[in-house]
Structure 1
Amino acid sequence: MESLETSITNKINKNIEEKFFSLKTDVENLNQEQVEQDKRLDFVEKQLRIRNLIIFGVKEEEKSYKELETLLIGIIKGNLEIDLSEMEIEFVKRIGKPNHEKTRPILFAVTTLGKKIDILKNKKKLIGTNSYIKEDYPKKIQEIRRSLQPLLEHELEQGNRAVIKYDKLVIIGKNTQKRQLSQSPCLEKDGNVEHTQELPKEPKSKKTKSSEQQRSITYYGSTKPKTPTHSIKTTNTPTTSSPQNRNTATALPQNIKK
């Protein structure tokens, strides 16, 4: 009787363990799918904002969309000295509800990524005015960048060159050389912080034509590919400077006949 109860108990426990393992596997798969789904959504949101820019500190004097568009074009042309037409503006609007105590920023998008890059390159021309331009990041990225700001200030105080790129803090190191080194830097990642260590520059040496041709070829793997043997033809041409060579040359057909 006890053996029967033990057998039944073992079977029940085994079934429970199998179901639990199956449920655990399903939950892990769902979690992995959720992570991948979040990554896809983040990528889509990033692409939707890729040509967006935000201007802060512009007084709300417009009364219509047309006036706001004209105001934006005037800032880009007058202050940044960049040519911008109405056809190159995808949309423009104020962010948030109207507030008499606070000026709402202007969110706009341009039709090409190149135009956005030109605007960002010339945004320093707004220094001295009450306006400034920033990129349009998702809220999740804004929180990450806000948390990285104290680390950025600390690195700058230490004399390091550092910059926040999207959701990463890139630390290049101290600027002790006048010119950027040409070799690829060593990159170490630590969460949202990337440490870049510049390699020492090799001394200049005279380059021959053959060495320059070799530098233009990149080999992937541990060794260079060997020259295929079928593409190389070797020809043994006997010289006539000595009678020994003439004897060898005439004796060769006799060996073949044998």
Structure 2
Amino acid sequence: MEDIMDALRKIQSELNEQKITIKESGEKVTAAVTQNINGILDEKFKILDEKYENLKEKLENQEKRIYYLEKQARKNNIVIFGLEETETSYETLENIIINFVREYFSLELDHRDIQEIKRIGNKGERYRPIIATFTTLGTKIKIFKQRKEALKDTTYYITEDYPKQILEKRKELQEQAKLEREKGNIVKIKYDKLVVQVKNKTTSNNKIQLTLSPEIPIHDGTKVQANKKNKHHTSIKRTSSLTEGIVKPSMLNFLVNKNQNNMPSSQQNTNDNL
């Protein structure tokens, strides 16, 4: 009987050892399989990340090209506000612009000088603005340079034909410009940049500090520019310009500027100086 009990104990001990061995083997197999799967997944994720980065780079390059093409397409354009809608055809609208330029800018234009003219926005109580595209950049520059003086005492005003994203940026800059003016600084908005001349009352020497205005969150995530120095008593702050982003033609020009139609002429000219 004692021999039988010893044999049973021995068998039980062997079974326990086998269980432990099987368990350890199972854990090793599980760890190996898990490591193998993780390795495969890491490799696949690495490939996907590379593809994503390549697509992202291609998209950014395409956005830059689109932005450049959009900017080039609008470079000969001006937007004219305040002209009455008396035209009955495209030809009469061209004549209105030709007569307008002759009267206020003393420039003799021909129909060949105009590539395209169109009203933008929905017809309503206010006169819709006109986008005029000239065949040469020189004609646009001549008109644009004289606009402040030529239209000083009128209800008309002229702006650039900005792309949608530039209009949105300028709208953001208007808020920042208001804050800077409240501080007593001289502020101008040039295209998509805010130029601030800071009055430095504590200047102990004749150095000018070129610093950047607070960064504004925009689509392309532009960075600040390096500080520069010159000899003056005032500091100039500039925001970085927008150089990329998907841009496409829209009527946002009218939507952003339509509230200016009812402004006094002095107020309109002030805004136009920006």
TM-score scaled by length of structure 1? 0.67
Deviation of 1:135 (Å) = 0.7
Pairwise CA distance, 1:198: 5.7
Residue equivalent to 2:267: none
- Counterpart of 2:230 in structure 1 is 199
2:192 partner amino acid: D
CA offset digits 1:6-59 (Å, max 9, x no partner): 212211111111111211222122222212211111111111111111101111
Structure 2 CA distance for partners of 1:174 and 1:122, relative to 1, 3 Å: farther
- Pair 195,66 (structure 1): closer, same or farther in 2 beyond 3 Å: farther
CA contact (8 A) 1:49 1:136 kept: yes
Q: Percent identity?
A: 38
Q: List aligned pairs for 1:201-220, cutoff 5 A.
A: none
In structure 1, how many angstroms separate the alpha carbons of the residues matched to 2:199 and 2:107? 34
User: Of 76, 80, 85, which aligns to 2:105?
Assistant: 80
How do residues 3-82 of structure 1 correspond to structure 2 at under 5 angstroms? 3-82=28-107
TM-score (norm 2): 0.63
* Comparing 153-162 and 102-111, the one that deviates more: 153-162
Select which of 147, 151, 157 maps to 1:132: 157
Q: Deviations over 1:68-117 (max 9, x none)?
A: 11111111110122332222111111113333x22111111112212211
In structure 2, what is the equivalent of residue 153 of structure 1?
Answer: 178
Describe the SS at the equivalent of 2:105: coil
> 1:172 Cα shift?
3.6
Residues 56 and 105 in structure 1, CA contact (< 8 A), matched pair in contact too: yes
1:117 aligns with 2:141: yes
Partner of 1:162, secondary structure, is strand
Aligned match of 2:126 in 94, 97, 102? 102
More helix by share: 2
Contact 1:170 1:195 in 2 (8 A): no
Q: Which residue identity does 1:118 align to in structure 2?
A: K
Distance 1:194 1:24, change over 3 A: closer
Alignment check: 8 A CA contact 2:208 2:231 kept: no
Q: Which runs of 5+ in 2 are unaligned?
A: 1-24, 217-223, 233-274
Q: Any idea what SS the aligned residue of 1:74 has? A: helix
The structure with higher relative contact order (CA 8 Å, sep 6+) is 2
Q: Decide whether aligned partners of structure 1 residues 72 and 55 sit closer, same or farther in structure 2, where only a CA change above 3 A counts.
A: same
**Which ranges of structure 1 fall in alignment gaps of 5 or more residues?**
202-258
Which stretch of the first structure deviates more once superposed, 126-135 or 52-61?
A: 126-135
